[in-house]
Amino acid sequence: MLKAYEELRAKSDEVWKNTQARTVIRVPIATCSIAAGARETLEALESAVKERGLDVDVQTVGERGLCWLEPLVEIVKADGSAVLYEHVTSDKVEQLLDEALDDVSADLAFAVVEGTDVEGLQRLDDFDLWALQERRLLLRCGIIDPDNIDHYIAHGGYSGLAQALDQSQEEVIQTVSDSTLRGRSGSAFPTGTKWEFLRGKEREPKYLICNADEGDPGAFVNRILMECDPQSVIEGMVIAAHATGATYAFFYLREEYPLAIERMEKAVEQARERGLLGDNILESGLSFDMKIWVGAGSYVCGEESGLLASLDDERGMPRIRPPFPADSGVFEQPTNVNNVETYSDVTLIMEKGLEFYNSVGTEANKGTKIFSLSGHIQRVCVVEVAFGYPLRDLYHAVDPATYQERRKLKALQAGAALAGILPTHIALKLPLDPEAFKPHGVLMGGGGLVFIDDTACIVDLNVMFSWFLEDESCGRCTTCHGGTQRMSEIFRRIGRGGGKSNDYDKMELLGQALQYSNCIHGSASPTIMLRSAEYFREEIDQHINEQRCAAKVCRDLIRYEIDSDSDSDKLPEAAAICPTEAVVQEDEKWSIDQSKCIKCNACKDVAPDAVRIVDAFDVLPLTPVGASATA
């Protein structure tokens, strides 16, 4: 097996070596960079290079996760020196080629990756948000072409499989168990134990599932892996097949990730061509294949039994357990479900060994975890850190301005709609370890971290999350479909100023009732509501008792007014943009017709100084609600 691998490796090394013979311009093509215009950059680069007759290669790579710098183009020269250039949109391409091929473009450069120092330019390894990372699973992201299996193999790909194939099933499972690897979706079930369940089943065929239905809003961890290093996931699945005796896999991928679908399909095809999927893999006698199976938009299909129902020609309604998937999964056959990152971790464990894998992390969770960071931060990004890394340090690196007291961070929402919400004073003290989150009544979840500052309203966030949970409830359990509806209603009513003092009792009761749901969608759905009532009581109280939304978000508790003292030059423009003709002028006096205003903020967008958002507590010459100023 190792011999078959060595042959593959030798060929791939040759392919990779050839890419280094001359200057390479690496253009990241992944969802974040595409949104920033990377496809146009790639096109412009390719045609400019051709036009100029330059002796350089333009290569597609995945992204590094530094989303706010995209398109983040790297120029690697034949002498090995490499520099990253930020925001290289298509209009910057000529400048880049003019300045960066013979020298370094000081204007566009972001950091030196390899080679000698450049005056006035930081090194990537010294950049705070890079230096704090422990890049293992993401190591190849942004370096290799995801559509080229040779690039993957030349960077150590499939050596983990080759080593696993030389071990018995028990040995592989023991190694996975010793690594403490737990499901990375947030469920945190020990992976080795799950595999042992499947290995022990005699009924054949056995199936593997890759859960790539990453539906948590604000989580895009698995997307990066699938788009930028797809083979690492496939390799982990082949290792799992060897360890458990599974012969076929369904790769359940959400439809909302079209590029990931495209990349994974190509990756499966290439793995098949190289004999890494199919019959007699690496001449080991192992037979295993898989299919990329595209979902159709359902959050609850991320729950493993909902996913199985969805595969089995049903609506994606989570099933009642037992039987568990290891006994009766897809087609009622023994099945194992893991998520994308978990399989990638397996690849890493087999490739680099336990000692390396376990060298970072906490007692309960060794290794690393990928996080996607969004919300009120300057640097939207995907990072990989060792378990236990201090959340405060990560936050300071992704939002240096807030660190300098620009705004006040109010809350952290980790792990999306089911996991909970924490106030800053608790959240920023935590290490990034699931065990540390639990005592506070929340989960760390699958890797999404949404930072929330004091421009947000906790009631409004609850309206959003409870509605999401209501909308995505499969409808099986009355507790869940009824309970999530009641949650929505309560928060909407509070947001309208109709909150009652006994609403907290209702929340508590709902929290209890929802526990009696079949799956985690129901039982965990009250988490955000309950944590909000616990940690953000004062803010909710203000809505209930004073009909006041301090953040001025809840629409029924605020109104837009023209500030009579201000310069009104921009007001004709505000009147023109208003979709409901609510900005009116009578006798040269401007006002907002409250009966027409939908509070969309468009007038304030164009005339920020002339329009004010006020609530009942603001003191200024007010127009009574529903009447025009001149009436």
Partner 1 sequence: MLDTEATLEIAELVAEFKPGNADLIPALHKVQHRYGYVPREAMGVVAKQLRLGEAQVYGAVTFYSELRVIPPPQTRIDWCSGPACRLKGGENVRLALESVLEIGMEENTAGDKVGLHLAQCNGTCDFAPQIWVDGKVVGPLTAADTITLARELKEKN
Copy the structure tokens of residue 253: 């991928």
DSSP string, 149-216: HHHHHHTTTTHHHHHHHTS-HHHHHHHHHHTT-B-TTTT--BHHHHHHHHHT--SS--EEEEEE---S
Number of residues that bind partner 1 (CB under 8 A): 62
What is the C-alpha to C-alpha distance for residues 432 and 382, in angstroms, rounded to an integer?
A: 14
CA nearest 218: which of 415, 462, 430, 67?
415
Closest CA to 387 of 345, 343, 450, 425: 345
- CB nearer to partner 1: give 19 or 31: 31
Output 310 or 517, the one with its CB closest to partner 1: 310
CB of residue 376 vs partner 1: minimum separation in angstroms? 6
The piece of 95-103, 107-115, 447-455, 492-500 that touches partner 1 (CB under 8 A) is 447-455
Nearest to residue 578, comparing CAs of 563, 562, 589? 562
Minimum CB distance to partner 1 smaller for 39 or for 123: 39
Helix (H) / strand (E) element for 415: namely: none
Residue 123 carries which DSSP code?
A: B
Shortest distance, position 408 Cβ to partner 1, whole Å: 14
Stretch that binds partner 1, among 11-19, 291-299, 335-343, 354-362 (CB under 8 A): 291-299
We find the least distance from the C-beta atom of residue 143 to partner 1, in angstroms, to be: 21
- Nearest distance, CB of residue 257 and partner 1, angstroms: 6
Residue 593: CB atoms within 10 A of its CB come to: 17
Among 320, 509, 598, 616, binds partner 1 (CB under 8 A): 598
Shortest gap between Cβ of 507 and partner 1 (angstroms)?
21
Cβ proximity of 521 and 473 under 8 Å? yes
The correct pick among 170, 255, 363, 565 for binding partner 1 (CB under 8 A) is 255
Q: Phi and psi of 483, rounded to 5°?
A: -65, -45
What is the residue type of 379?
A: R
Pair 128, 397: CB distance under 8 Å: yes
Q: How far is the CB of 31 from partner 1 (least distance, A)?
A: 6
Nearer to partner 1, 311 or 490 (CB): 311
Site string for partner 1, 403-432 (x = CB under 8 A): ----------x--x----------------
Contact range with partner 1 by CB under 8 A, out of 1-9, 67-75, 164-172, 539-547: 67-75
Quick check: 614 binds partner 1 (CB under 8 A)?
Answer: no
Minimal distance, residue 445 CB to partner 1, in Å: 13
Judge whether 345 and 235 are in contact, CB under 8 Å: no
Contact between 314 and partner 1 by CB under 8 A: the answer reads yes
Residue from 157, 230, 295, 431 binding partner 1 (CB under 8 A): 295
Q: Which residue in the set 62, 186, 192, 218 belongs to the binding site for partner 1 (CB under 8 A)? A: 218
Within positions 30 to 49, which residues make up the interface with partner 1, using CB under 8 A? 31-32, 34-36
β-bridge partners, 61? 28
Is residue 133 a contact point for partner 1 (CB under 8 A)?
Answer: no
Which tokens hold the place of 565?
């003292």
Tell which residue, 443, 460, 448, 428, has the closest CA to residue 380: 448
End-to-end CA distance of the chain: 88
Does 599 contact partner 1 by CB under 8 A?
yes
Whole-number minimum distance, CB 158 to partner 1, in Å?
27
**DSSP secondary structure string for all residues of 368-384:** EEEEEEEES-S--EEEE
| Range in contact with partner 1 (rule: CB under 8 A) among 6-14, 432-440, 557-565, 600-608 | 600-608
DSSP letters spanning 272-290? HHTTSSBSSGGGSS--BEE
Stretch that binds partner 1, among 74-82, 173-181, 275-283, 462-470 (CB under 8 A): 462-470
Q: Which of residues 538-597 bind partner 1 (CB under 8 A)?
A: 577, 579-580
Among 142, 316, 388, 415, binds partner 1 (CB under 8 A): 316
Shortest distance, position 463 Cβ to partner 1, whole Å: 9
C-beta of 150: minimal distance to partner 1 in Å?
Answer: 28
Q: Which of 74, 384, 460, 470 binds partner 1 (CB under 8 A)?
A: 460
| Residue 15 within binding range of partner 1, rule CB under 8 A | no
Assigned token pair, 546: 């004073």
Residue of 162, 380, 386, 557 interacting with partner 1 (CB under 8 A):
380
Enumerate long-range contacts of 164-167, CB under 8 Å, 24 or more apart. 164/239, 164/242, 164/243, 164/350, 165/1, 165/242, 165/281, 165/282, 165/284, 165/286, 166/1, 166/2
Nearest CA-CA partner of 618 in 572, 539, 559: 559
Q: By CB under 8 A, is residue 602 in contact with partner 1?
A: yes
The strand ranges marked E within 295-447 are 335-339, 368-375, 381-386, 409-414, 422-423
Stretch that binds partner 1, among 49-57, 272-280, 435-443, 449-457 (CB under 8 A): 449-457
List residues binding partner 1 (CB under 8 A).
31-32, 34-36, 67-68, 70, 215, 217-220, 223, 250, 255-258, 293-299, 310-316, 330-331, 372, 374-376, 380, 413, 416, 450, 452, 455-456, 460-461, 464-465, 468, 474, 577, 579-580, 598-602, 605-606
